[in-house]
Amino acid sequence: MFKTDVVILGAGAAGLFCAGVAQQQGLKVLVIDHYPKLAEKVRISGGGRSNFTNAQIDPQMPHRHYVGQNPQFARSALSRYTAQHFVDLVKSHNIAFHEKHLGQLFCDRSAEDLIQMLLKECETGASCGEVQRWQPCEFHSVAYSDAPHSHYTLQTSMGSVECQALVVASGGLSIPAIGATGIGYTLAQQFSIRLTPTQPALVPLTLGGPEWAPFDALSGLSLKASVSHGVAKKKITFDDDLLITHKGISGPATLQISNYWHAGDRIQIDLLPEVDLLPQLIALKQQSKKTLSNELTTWLPNRLIHAWTDHNPLWQKSMADTSQKALESLALALKQWSLLPSGTEGYKKAEVTVGGVDTRDLSQQTMESKKKGLYFIGEVVDITGWLGGYNFQWAWSSAHACAMGLANQIKRL
């Protein structure tokens, strides 16, 4: 029987970072992961340069950038280990990085630099802590006992393990090709921890049927747009690139809105978010000898214009011959394009998973569940961030909160 203070299930961003911080607090940690490659989601993120955090995160107002049943749950962890704390750590390892738009921070060279940093943080120093890693190692089962002291016993493909605390950092269901499984949710259910419904997020949306038929052949077309979901105070809008695919729509604006979308919801797209279109069309009606479609090329790609105008004879005339009512209807259609997605491209293409371990059953301060010694961190928890480094910051912050909580509660074996 191998004995250790803490077992962490998952050698991803949250799991590795938690292991490093915990060993620096003097704890002995064993990290177990069934997938042979280390931190693969870190490796492939940001085009291989890892968008590791976002400088615009407001720890005091997590509902601005995070979704879930209770986004405010994230406030404690995000406030105590901020984006700046992680940036300082990156700097201390001499990793060059840069900021793209909207506060997104990327490694200059490669995400591999970040993975090596996480490993170095796990190296034994003067703290008397220790991190061991079993990988690849299949997790089979776990049992809890409180005699003679509270502990967990795990059965794995590399043998039995006894620990005082079990940290579940197994991630969500997104990108099964790099090892994602639902083991974290299974463990939550085993110990009567509540779950909220899960669905793919930061994912392309699929479209079909008659309303999409005119645009079905536009695959590969990209443009700036505003994509919205909801109405009134519940309306959320993202201004970013929109990409038309052979299955529907993608691009950053679509991925962002997918965090909020549910089956049966319509979304709205403004194809010209920076243009007050109708007054300009009315003015051109008095001046231009061109066709309406030719004038629209000032603002939109030609292929997209024809997808709109070719199916409506009222929009195929010269500007002078196009009625103001026809101009009004086209301007409204382009500025308030309403679509009903048929679904998403699923977990295979999703960057993250919405839903998961219910935060009502977790401590904001330590990430410990209502089951003594059982912790959940990172994506497995019902906290999901926007595109742009927010999910990695949740991984770092929740892992740090957990590690400090472990240090305060565990009596060394």
CA distance 205 to 350: 10
CA distance 240 to 227: 8
Task: Enumerate the CATH 3.50.50.60 domain ranges in the chain, comma separated.
Answer: 2-200+354-409
CATH number for region 2-200+354-409: 3.50.50.60
Q: How far apart are the first and last CA of the chain?
A: 13
Over residues 219-257, the pLDDT tens digits come to 999 999 999 999 998 999 999 999 999 999 999 999 999
Mean pLDDT of the chain: 96
Over residues 10-66, the pLDDT tens digits come to 999 999 999 999 999 999 999 999 999 999 999 999 999 999 999 999 999 999 999
> Which token pair is 13?
């961003």
pLDDT given at position 107 = 98
pLDDT given at position 413 = 44
pTM (predicted TM-score): 0.95
CA distance 30 to 24: 14
- Phi and psi dihedrals of 368, rounded to 5? -75, 140
> Which token pair is 15?
């799991």
> Which token pair is 43?
């490796």
Asked if CATH classification 2.40.30.10 holds for the domain at 204-345, the reply, yes or no, is yes
Cis ω before 197 (30° cut-off from 0): no
Over residues 154-181, the pLDDT tens digits come to 999 999 999 999 999 999 999 999 999 9
Q: 124 pLDDT exceeds 80?
A: no
pLDDT given at position 128 = 82
Amino acid at 149: H
pLDDT given at position 412 = 55
Over residues 355-411, the pLDDT tens digits come to 999 999 999 999 999 999 999 999 999 999 999 999 999 999 999 999 999 999 986
Task: Enumerate the CATH 2.40.30.10 domain ranges in the chain, comma separated.
Answer: 204-345
Mean pLDDT of 83-104: 96
pLDDT given at position 411 = 65
